[in-house]
Amino acid sequence: MIRPLHPSEASIVAEFYHDIRKDTVPVFHDIQGIKWYIESFLLPRWSSFVYEENGEILGWVDVHQGMLNQLYCKRGHTGKGIGKQLLDFAKSREPGGLQLWTFQLNGSARRFYGREGFHEVELTDGANNEEKQPDVRMVWNLI
């Protein structure tokens, strides 16, 4: 089931976000900092949702004003269709189109989004992101 993220669950999401991110790029924020960001910026705009199964949060998506800001699945739960369900949910919230940024070195994300109809439209050297890693902007269904 996909439902809104509750404030009491911000630490759960922050933990698996922190865990997954370290697979691809340096992580600059600790779990408390990520939790603070979720609570202070994402929750007030009602843009974060979780995928829950049997009482356990297994995925998280944040979508706001045509931007897919976050889409992560808990370690051990990728490749099971959870990410696709979260992405389909995000598309239903923004039928006019979505865009996102991912790192160029994250080949699995680029392949996933490509299979789901996103197109790569911009490559950067990473100078404008916190991690200073080359990234790619991808779009879906933008008019």
Q: What is the DSSP string of 68-112?
A: EEEEEE-TT-TTSSHHHHHHHHHHHH-TT-EEEEEETT-HHHHHH
What CATH number is attached to the domain comprising 8?
Answer: 3.40.630.30
pLDDT of amino acid 61: 97
Q: Is residue 36 within 8 Å of residue 11, measured between CB atoms?
A: no
Dump pLDDT digits (tens) for 41-96. Answer: 999 999 999 999 999 999 999 999 999 999 989 888 888 899 999 999 999 999 99
- Three-class SS state of 28: coil
* Total domains present in the chain: 1
User: Residue 73's closest CA among 25, 109, 31, 37?
Assistant: 109
pLDDT of amino acid 33: 86
Domain extent for 92: 2-140
